[in-house]
Amino acid sequence: MRRVPALPLAACLAVSALALSAGAAFAANGELGGGFLEMLLTGSAGSPHSRPSMSSPAPADPVQAPVDQQTAALTPGEVEVGEPAEEYRRQVVEYSGREAPGTIIIDTEQKFLYLVEPGGQAIRYGVGVGRPGFEWAGVRTITRKAEWPGWTPPDQMLLRRPDLPRHMDGGPDNPLGARALYLGSTLYRIHGTNEPDTIGRNMSSGCIRMMNQDVIDLYNRVRVGTKVVVM
Determine whether 167 is an active site residue. no
**Stated pTM of the model:** 0.69
Task: With cut-offs at 50, 70 and 90, classify the pLDDT of residue 27.
Answer: very low
**Predicted confidence band at 114 (pLDDT cuts at 50, 70, 90)?**
very high
| Mean pLDDT on 96-102 | 95
Annotation marks residue 207 as catalytic: yes
Q: Measure Cα distances from 138 to 15, 17, 81, 142, 165 in Å.
A: 12, 17, 31, 13, 30
Greatest mean pLDDT among 31-35, 57-61, 69-73, 182-186 lies in 182-186
* pLDDT band at residue 54 using 50, 70 and 90 as cut-offs: low
Per-residue pLDDT at 61: 38
* pLDDT at 94 exceeding the cut of 90: yes
- Provide Rg for the chain, Cα atoms: 16
Q: Which of 12, 49, 167, 191 is catalytic?
A: 191
Based on DSSP, count helices (H) and strands (E) in the chain, helices before strands. Answer: 4, 11
Asked whether residue 16 carries a pLDDT value surpassing 60, the answer given is no
Q: What is the pLDDT of residue 161?
A: 82
Indicate which residue of 12, 49, 167, 207 is catalytic. 207
Q: What's the chain's average pLDDT?
A: 72
Class of domain 17-75+90-230: mainly beta
Above 90 in pLDDT, residue 44? no
Rounded to whole angstroms, the Cα distance separating 28 from 58 reads: 40
Integer Cα distance of 192 and 225 in angstroms = 20
Q: Where are the domains of the chain?
A: 17-75+90-230
> Residue 159: enclosing H or E segment and its boundaries?
helix 155-160
pLDDT of res. 57:
42
